[in-house]
Structure 1
Amino acid sequence: MDTTRLTHAYRDLVAAASAIDAAVRRADVDWTLAHIALSDEMLAGAAERLLTGENVVVDNRAAMDETAIAELIAATSHAERVALVHRNGAALTNVVGRIPEATADRTVRIRLVDRTGRQVTDAEVTWDRLIRMRAEEHLPGHTARLAAVSGAASATRP
């Protein structure tokens, strides 16, 4: 699969996260980075299963789990979370890049929950569509929020 958009989305995300310094960090920044890192691990595992021909269900419950997110935040610094997002994003991009275009057309089930654990999606999409949503909607949305935090902080500095 072509990973150009995914690569650019992670580059922009990591740049926005890196621009946030300790003086302006907020709990939602920590949560966002932990959530993305956990999501990337889950998606890379799903991509590996897709490559082996397994039926794939993408369930983000583990990447939205309050306990898992809190534990990751407690065990890492902001810089370590940014590095983890960078590594996990690169790992996901790498495995996605190994997926043949014909395999990218396979249908996968996605089950998504919100922060409260309430199911918001239970649908079938092609793997290609799932990755395009990640690269064109999900990651850019998080990037915009992170950039707003760093932008707000730089606007308040003398």
Structure 2
Amino acid sequence: MNITELADAYQKLIRAAEGITDSTPVTGTERADVDWRLAHITLSDRILASAARDILGGAEGVVVDNLPAMDAQAIAGFIASTTHLQRIDTMRRNAAELMDLLEQIPDAAGGTVVDLRIHDRDGRHVSDSQMAWSDLVGLRSAQNIPGHTDSLAELAKRV
């Protein structure tokens, strides 16, 4: 699979996250949101990497359930056990692992239909749907990661 757009999106995300330092003038609520976003993305990449492994292995009925990336306890535990810089580093490594797996997926397997189980930020189930794997990766490249990047970049500008 071509991951050029996704790699670019992650580079911008990481730069925006690195632009937020201890001296960035943010409120406690804004800092908590930054922490949540970094934890959420990190946990999301683990879910997507697992699905990518399933697709590489030829599994049928691949499910992408984002609940672990929306679970308040998992996110709080990750935040409590890491610093801002450690969260960025873990996010960078998870993104690299995901992209390595995606590069191994043949273009033909990009059409693999995956089942999506979507939960909101409070962990409530909001929808079930299906989507081609390549469309899901495209959505992450074009909307999901850039949306988080935009939020972080706005805060990083305050320095």
Do both share a fold (TM > 0.5)? yes
Q: How much has 1:27 moved relative to structure 2? A: 0.4
Q: 2:68 aligns with which of 62, 65, 71?
A: 62
The corresponding residue for 1:117 is 123
The corresponding residue for 1:88 is 94
Q: CA–CA distance in 2 between the matches of 1:105 and 1:138?
A: 20
The corresponding residue for 1:19 is 19
Q: In structure 1, what residue type is equivalent to 2:47? A: M
The corresponding residue for 2:152 is 146
Unaligned runs of 5+ in 2: none
SS at match of 1:122: strand
Q: Give CA deviations for 1:41-63 in whole Å, capped at 9, x if unaligned.
A: 11001100111111210000001
The corresponding residue for 2:39 is 34
1:2 matched to 2:7? The reply is: no
Q: How much has 1:120 moved relative to structure 2? A: 2.5
Q: Give CA deviations for 1:102-134 in whole Å, capped at 9, x if unaligned.
A: 111110011110012222231110000000000
SS at match of 1:143: helix
Q: 2:55 aligns with which of 50, 55, 59?
A: 50
Q: CA RMSD in A?
A: 0.9
Identity across the alignment (%): 44
Q: CA–CA distance in 1 between the matches of 2:22 and 2:104?
A: 37
What TM-score do the two structures reach when normalised by structure 1?
Answer: 0.94
